[in-house]
Structure 1
Amino acid sequence: VIKFFLDKYIVFKKASLKLKETSQEFLKYFGFAILT
């Protein structure tokens, strides 16, 4: 059971990290679009 939760946790962490990176890239492009 613990391994199952650990796997889920790792997958969740990776997903949230990727989401953060994606949103940061999106904000960069968005800010650039506003500036120009």
Structure 2
Amino acid sequence: MVINSIPDPVQLTRHATGLVLATYVASHVNIQTS
């Protein structure tokens, strides 16, 4: 797999969205379980 020097906007958007969703779910679960 070749890594391009210019990052793909779609990949960056997916990665950022994934991080936001993971953080939201984690905090939501922590609030419910505590």
Identify, as 1 or 2, the structure richer in helix. Answer: 1
Interval containing the TM-score (normalised by the shorter chain): 0.7 to 0.9
Task: List structure 1 segments (4+ residues) > 3 angstroms apart after TM superposition.
Answer: none
The CA RMSD measured in Å over matched residues stands at 1.3
> Identity rate of aligned residues, in percent?
4
How many residues end up aligned between the 2 structures? 28
Q: 1:27 aligns with which of 11, 15, 33?
A: 33
TM superposition score normalised by structure 2: 0.74
**Pair 1:6 & 2:17 matched:** no
Structure 2 residues not aligned, in runs of 5+: 1-6
TM superposition score normalised by structure 1: 0.70
